[in-house]
Amino acid sequence: MKALRRLFHRLTSWATSARDEVLLRAEFEEHIAMQTADNLRAGLSPSEARRQALLKFGNVEAMKEGYRDQRGLPLTETLVLDTQHALRRLRKTPVFTGAVLLTLALGIGANTAIFAVIDGILIRPLPYPDPEALIRIGTSAPGLPGLPDSLGCSPSMYFTYREENRVFQYFGIWYVAGASLTGIAEPEQPRALFVTHGVLDALGVKPLLGRWFSETDDTPTSPETVMLTHGYWQRRFGGDTSIVGRTLTIDSTPRTVIGVMPANFRFQGDPELILPQRFERTEQSLGPFSSQGIARLKPDVTLEQAKADVARMLGIWLFAWPLPPGIDFTPFQNARLAPRVEPLKQDIVGNIGSTLWVVMGALGLVLLIACANVANLLLVRAEARQQELAIRAALGAGRGRIAREMLVESMTLGVLGGALGLGLASAALRLLVARGPDTLPRLDEIGIDPFVLAFACGVSVLAGAVFGVIPILKYAGPRVATALCGVGRTFSNGRERHRVRNTLVVVQVALALVLLIGSGLMIRTFQQLRSVPPGFTHPEEIQILHSTIPEALAKEPEHVMRMQHEILDRLAAIPGVVSVGFGDAAPLESFLRNGNPVYAEDITLTEGQVSPIRRIRKIAPGYFKALGTRLIAGREFTWTDLYEKRRVAIVSENLAQEWWGVPGAALGKWIREGGPADPWREIVGVVENVYDNGVNVKAPEFAYWPALMDQYIWGGKDGVAVSFGMFAIRSSRTATQGLLAEAHRAIWSVNGREPVFLVTTLKTLYDQSMARTSFTLVMVALAGGMALVLGIVGLYGVIAYVVSQRTREIGIRTVLGAQPAELLATFVRHGLVLAGIGTALGLMAAAGVMRLMSSLLFGVTALDPVTYLAVSALLVAAAVLASYLPTRRAIAVDPVKALRAE
Amino acid sequence: MKDTDVRKGTLALMVLKTLDVLGPLHGYGIARRIEQISGDLLTVNQGMLYPVLLKLEQEGSIASEWGASENNRKARFYRLTRQGRKQLQAEARSWEQTAAIIERFFAAKAQDLK
């Protein structure tokens, strides 16, 4: 109770301290005046009376200090005072302060930004209630080579899993695709999420307006419905709340809007519309695995239990459904189908973690180097203040008091730098969110939240402490005598005084080398990627557009093909267009990949063996010419091939080599897709490999079919034509508004205002396929560049300081006849020794650390000797320059002037 | 260190006792009175009294107000509060006990403890 009351008094008196100070002085004065009066009465002379009174009272300032300690909050007060002092001192040296703050702001800002990215992507839970219970369900088929690691779920699985499971609270399947919205001024192709009942229930995000899909919406005979996401509702309908109940024409079907999702609803693929999936149960077979499964586990069900349950249901499913048309049971038997069950977050985040942690590590090293630099600057500063500190120590300032003051100065720098860094980070993040690579998941969830803020504060304070402690250890000690006489002309500087600084520089050089090697390896990786011929040429000239021929316009395959042909001719007639191509997808369009086993007539499989999955693409004449894919043997398709429905095929070089050794030998061979339902087709051409999965992975083997066929495994009785197709336009006017407008007109003049979508250039697709590498490259190179500059500035600073301290010595030696070259060599050698030790340490560290990066490298090993040598040479050269420049300046000074210096 | 703690404690007790006996008094008055009675204790630094006065005031044992001194100048007068009187009684009692114990210890001879 007493203590509380005292604290209260201390707090209030802290606030009124200025007035109290005056009163206190008055009280003391009065005390001394009374004593003086008594002394006078006792017969002392006036001056002696006052002197005795003062003596008796004791040291007024010490009393005040003691009084103050009692009164306010002494620690806080001195802290405030010390901070004020520190700020004043920092203001007096704007260059030093500016340099330190800039260094710290960059270091802390970069680390805060990347931490915000890591927080947003990896750490923060998914934006759904109780997100740990959400899992993704897929299928793996290790027995079928050529398939992706993880397949999705089929509609038949949806029925089996929904009905047989014991562990799911909700279960549903979904996929994202385009849906054309027509009947409005500008037809468009919004991104649509197709869900079954159970997907939204599993996510648990309630709609803002209207209702969720019910089981009725999934029933094929019920009225068609649609939901909107918040962003699309705002953008397209201005947030009009009367939207619920209105009708929109989507994919030529009128649908009633039943609800709008809230603004905080997020989902993979960033959908704009949500549509129900309706399956006719009687029409389902085992395939296709094109949807993703999502489930919310019942409380207390573990991931392992879920896996076991899905494995059990997979066994039921395999024998409960008919085979897909034209495919026999062998592939299913040999596929070794297994469930792939993982937390939803893992599915969304993917393997981006390794990249992000590498970048974070690199930027962390940069911050360390920055701290070393700042510590060096502070050392110089402390040395300049050594005499002042010694005098204060002599006058009774304790080691702790001086240390506290120095620490407060460093902390002030740290916090100010951190504040600036936070500003930089938030600007950088805004830029990243606005135009970051699409391959970064959860991009729009990245931002500065309290957690990131706490990180920034922590890093700032920690940085302040790290670089603040070094000068304290060295100078706050009570070595009054040495300090007082050791400064000035009497002594030359001892070796010992430079040891700390030298160590710091060695550490800086070593860290910088590690980062530079990292950047070097990334640059080599990028070069290697760029040097892979991707299977197309000058992608920047290739404009890509997609559009569709609606069934209402043409149903008969040949009619569809004629219309696509018509569009192609009109596109080719646009001024500036060199060539045009048509097919079901462009290279690198990952979302439109098609694959199936392909069989060759003369290659017999051993019993039980399954033919690997090959990539299938359906194309029209001109496709390869427009993309720049080289023909290696034979010929391209012709329009006659298509319209006469000849059974022809083209294969990629790697497929021809695998089966027949040399590409030319493939000509005249017969192949088909899937099984007996597909007719044999004769190979008429072999083309170069197209790196359809990105240049960093093996090029898939391709089979190209004509865009119009009379009989096809997936087609109907009348044959099949590509109605949902891609147009590739090679032109010097690619990506200009003019070309796009003319291309739209050409397409619309034939298909009657169906939306044109997925408009991009092949260059964009190509860059996106390397986005992760270029993102890492840019970040690591940025870190490497900063490290190089900071490290070299640090070295320069040390050499310049050493030289400036030894200016007199240089003067004396010059007068005595020393050659400038010799003197130069002395200092440059000093710099070289430091850089040499740093490089050696750095090389050892790099050899260990770079292993962590190996998953990001391509075509270059983590111990690439060329990179290691080149980077070391670069660093040593920079070190020589950094030592040479300040020395030369000192030597050029007139010796007389040098001797008079100080 | 310990020495000053003890002295501070005793000083506080002396201040309370002085105010109890003489009524409201300014700092100089208290110092004089303590000096007269204790002789040496306060001759070193009269100023040491003020932190003690502040502490006592913060604890609520004494209160102060500004008034005119005998020289007709402004001076701060301290007086004992009710709580201070209670504290004085309590501490005086405990002090007497402590003193008695210490006295007995010093008076005791080796053979008494056998």
Predicted confidence at residue A491, as pLDDT, reads: 45
Kindly determine whether residue A56 and residue B43, on different chains, have CB atoms separated by under 8 Å. yes
Nearest to A57 among B45, B54, B76 (CB): B45
Most trustworthy range by pLDDT among A638-642, B61-65, B88-92: A638-642
- Rounded distance between C-alpha atoms, residue A534 and residue A619, angstroms: 19
Complex ipTM: 0.80
Mutation for A interface: B8, B34, B45, most A CBs within 10 A: B45
Nearest to A58 among B27, B46, B57 (CB): B46
* Residue A421 tokens, joined: 């860094």
CA distance A2 to chain B (A): 6
Predicted confidence at residue A561, as pLDDT, reads: 94
Kindly determine whether residue B75 and residue A27, on different chains, have CB atoms separated by under 8 Å. yes
- φ/ψ of A850, rounded to 5, equals -65, -25
DSSP A847-864: HHHGGGGGGG--SS-TT-
The 3-state DSSP class for residue B1 equals: coil
Please state, as a whole number, how many other Cβ atoms lie within 10 Å of the Cβ of residue A858.
Answer: 20
A26 touches chain B (CB under 8 A): yes
The β-bridge relationship of strands A253-260 and A225-228 is parallel
Mutation for A interface: B46, B49, B64, most A CBs within 10 A: B46
Predicted confidence at residue A654, as pLDDT, reads: 93
CA distance A408 to chain B (A): 28
First CA to last CA distance, chain A:
61
A63 touches chain B (CB under 8 A): yes
A33 touches chain B (CB under 8 A): yes
Percentages of chain B per state (helix, strand, coil), in multiples of 5: 70, 15, 20
Residue range B39-43: mean pLDDT, rounded:
60
Kindly determine whether residue A57 and residue B59, on different chains, have CB atoms separated by under 8 Å. no
CA distance A39 to chain B (A): 12
* Cα dist from A629 to A143, A617, A641, A780, A827, whole Å: 32, 14, 20, 34, 59
**DSSP letter (8 states) at residue A488:** S
Q: Which amino acid is at A217?
A: D
Q: Which amino acid is at A191?
A: R
Q: Which amino acid is at A549?
A: I
Q: Please check whether residue A366 is in contact with residue A159, taking contact to mean a CB–CB distance below 8 angstroms.
A: no
Predicted confidence at residue A82, as pLDDT, reads: 83
Predicted confidence at residue A591, as pLDDT, reads: 64
CA distance B58 to chain A (A): 5
Higher pLDDT pick, A654 / B11 = A654
* Residue A70 tokens, joined: 């009692």
- Of how many residues is chain B composed? 114
Residues 6 or more apart whose CB falls under 8 angstroms from that of A812 comprise: A895, A899
What does pLDDT average to in each consecutive run of 10 residues of chain A (902 residues)? 68 64 80 85 87 80 66 69 86 85 89 89 85 90 71 88 90 82 71 88 89 82 88 87 87 86 84 87 80 91 91 88 74 79 86 84 89 85 79 74 84 91 90 72 80 90 86 67 50 60 87 91 90 92 89 87 94 94 89 78 75 88 95 94 94 93 92 85 95 88 93 79 91 87 89 78 87 82 86 82 79 82 85 91 91 85 91 90 84 72 54
Kindly determine whether residue B59 and residue A56, on different chains, have CB atoms separated by under 8 Å. no
Kindly determine whether residue A56 and residue B27, on different chains, have CB atoms separated by under 8 Å. no
Higher pLDDT pick, A721 / B112 = A721
Nearest to B28 among A34, A58, A67 (CB): A34
Predicted confidence at residue A608, as pLDDT, reads: 62
pLDDT in tens, A243-254: 888 888 887 788
The 3-state DSSP class for residue A95 equals: helix
Please list every residue in chain B whose beta carbon sits closer than 8 Å to the beta carbon of residue A23: 76
Please state, as a whole number, how many other Cβ atoms lie within 10 Å of the Cβ of residue A737.
Answer: 8
Beta bridge partners, B75, equal B67
Please list every residue in chain B whose beta carbon sits closer than 8 Å to the beta carbon of residue A5: 58-60
- φ/ψ of A681, rounded to 5, equals -125, 145
CA distance A779 to chain B (A): 58
